[in-house]
Structure formats: C-alpha cells, structure tokens
Copies of this chain bind each other. A is one copy, B any other.
C-alpha cells in the first residue's frame, strides 16, 4: 500500500498560525514554558487535535499525549513529537516543527481513513528549553526518571514562581504520574540548528546520537577597589579575570571543532557599580564534543586556563563541573527505518550527531528513540531569523509519516 502524502501548505500554515502566539518584534517567537502563551499554544494544539478524534492524556508535569487508537489496542504505541515552548529570542520552528509535523501525520492519516495496528501518540513535552525553569528537557527528564516529579515541581523561575504554581495557574497538571508509557518507540523531528545539511545540499539528517556536554559554574573572587585611584597592578578585578576565561572557553571551542563546541552564556557581576572594580564575577560555561575523550581534554584545557588566570591575577577561581551529559546513542533499528523511509522518497540523508540536548535524548534511557533533522537555513537557531522552507518542513513530516506507518503497521 502506498502511503499518503502530507500537505505542505497545511503544515506551513500551522507553523504560521502557531507563530502568532508570542510573536517577537523581530519576527520570532517567545513562549516561555508554562506561561499564558504556552497555555495558549497548547489550547490551539488541542483545537486542532480534537476533530481528529485524538484523546488527550496529560501527566502531572503537563507533558501532553494525544492518543490515536490502533486496531490492536494492547500493542505498544508509536510516539512522536517535540515541544512548543521557546527561548526568549526563539524562532518559529525549533521544537514547534516536531509537534506540528506530528500533527500533520495525524491529519494525513485521518484524511486517508487509515487506522494503524499499534496506537499512535502525538507528544508535546513540557519545558524543553529550560530558560524559565532549569534544567532543560524538564518534562522528558522526569518522564525518563532523571529527576523526580517533586524536584521539578519545586523549581522556581527568577520571579519566584514554582513549576507547580505555574502548572496550577493554567490548569496544565493532569492526573497521570510522569513516567514510561510502554511505547514501542519515540521519534522526534527537529530543525538541524546548524548549517551542515544546507551546506551539503542534503535533505534529511539521521541523528545517530548526541555529543557529550560538560557544564561548568565558575566563580571568580577578586577584591573590591576604587575604579579611579587604585593602581592597575594592585587591582584584583574579578570582571577582567572573567573576561579572560570567556575568551579561553571560546578558544577551546574553536580548537575543538568540527566535533566540538563551547560557550559562556551567563554572567553575574558584583558589585556591578560604576566607580567600583568588581569583586565577584560568576559565569556559566560549557564544552561539548562528540568524542567523550576529547570533551574531557577540553575540560582539562579549561581547568588549566582557570589555574593560569588565577595565579597570574592573584584572584580565586572556583570551577564546579556540575554536570556531564552523554554521549547518547539512538536506537540503530529506528535510525535505519528513518534512513530507509527517506531513501524511498528519493531524499538524500546524512548521519549526524546532535550537539544540543533534546527530549529524545532523555527518552532514549527508557524506550527506543531516534531523531531526524531537516535543514535550517544558514544554520541560524534560537534566533528570530531561524527558518526552514515549507518544502523542507514537508519532507521531514513525510519521512516521519512513512516511518510511523512502517513501525505501526
């Protein structure tokens, strides 16, 4: 039986409609997790899913599962989706594409009157981005048992609102305990967030796993002094020392390419007062590499930079390598299914390693999981100018549909 084709226009229009919720002046999206905007995005998703006969099950952390009945109700479900929340400077495709591609699969099956043997579930994970409530991938993390529900509910944003309060405010906490749902597998479509597919002129990225990421909290403790009279060599300025570390992290990432990356994304400076040299500066940095041994050596280079700067500037630098994550390998049977489905539609593919965290990286611990990437124009991501073409979105949704049908029978 030939599988039906997804509707590229309908898929594109769904993205543009969703982007009207939380638009930014620059044309991007800003929908913080569990905000009124996230709640509005979920309401729109429900409006779309209800006519398709999908039944919503929602767990106590607000993870959403829209279930489509199968001919064999007891068969393990095939699940697919991503997330609707965005970073503050987000685009219209990151995460959203995974959910709306899943919706397009459901719509196409509905229009074609196809019922699969196994049930299907469209998934919308809570708080993948982790910018309002840390850590990232919170919904899938709790689902996978990497964090308890109680821990997640107690997390507070900068305004002091807890996850539990935000869930209650918008009525997003369901009765189910987060945890494995006996799925056959989980598939997550996503934009690439990098330029590789576009530069290589390829259609679909088959994600074989993720890099190893190492995260650091750094605290530079200098000494307060007066910005005017204190002679330069007597200063123990924490901000200048931190500036050296920011550049050291950057150099380590450049040397670690193409398989590696690094970033310093967060800074907090004290007293941060005009007229006073800085006493305490805090940084959040990371290094990542597809080869764990190389990630470890990048960390060693950072530690050496910390020692050198601390000694030369006579400041104290504490570095806490508080989390190492990955590498995670996705399920080879699933990645092979994705590769086969793309090839059958004459799409070109490329095996890739994901550099960022994704919900599927979490679920890989509790059920067979895999991801597919579509090209991201100019590799721009977490940015209002993030863009994939209607045809690229449709290709990704088509590969998802074909793979789902092959898996669900």
Across the interface, do A130 and B275 meet the contact criterion of CB distance under 8 Å?
yes
Which chain B residues border A226 with CB–CB below 8 Å? 94, 193, 356, 381-382
Taking the complex as formed, is A246 at the interface, i.e. its CB lies under 8 A from any CB of chain B? yes
Given the known inter-chain contacts A257-B231, A271-B131, A273-B265, please indicate yes or no for A250 contacting B246, CB distance below 8 A: no
CA distance A271 to B242 in the complex (A): 18
Taking the complex as formed, is A59 at the interface, i.e. its CB lies under 8 A from any CB of chain B? no
Interface size on A, residues (CB 8 A): 72
Across the interface, do A230 and B272 meet the contact criterion of CB distance under 8 Å?
no
CB distance from A291 to the nearest CB of B (A): 16
Which chain B residues border A275 with CB–CB below 8 Å? 87, 129-131, 136, 265, 356, 382
Which chain B residues border A229 with CB–CB below 8 Å? 192-194, 261, 354-356, 379, 381
Taking the complex as formed, is A92 at the interface, i.e. its CB lies under 8 A from any CB of chain B? no
Taking the complex as formed, is A115 at the interface, i.e. its CB lies under 8 A from any CB of chain B? no
Across the interface, do A279 and B232 meet the contact criterion of CB distance under 8 Å?
no
CB distance from A49 to the nearest CB of B (A): 28
Given the known inter-chain contacts A131-B271, A254-B232, A284-B274, please indicate yes or no for A225 contacting B266, CB distance below 8 A: no
Taking the complex as formed, is A213 at the interface, i.e. its CB lies under 8 A from any CB of chain B? yes
CA distance A239 to B264 in the complex (A): 8
Taking the complex as formed, is A134 at the interface, i.e. its CB lies under 8 A from any CB of chain B? yes
Across the interface, do B87 and A193 meet the contact criterion of CB distance under 8 Å?
no
CA distance A262 to B273 in the complex (A): 15
Taking the complex as formed, is A31 at the interface, i.e. its CB lies under 8 A from any CB of chain B? no
CB-based closest 6 A-B pairs: A228-B356, A89-B224, A227-B263, A193-B229, A243-B243, A243-B246
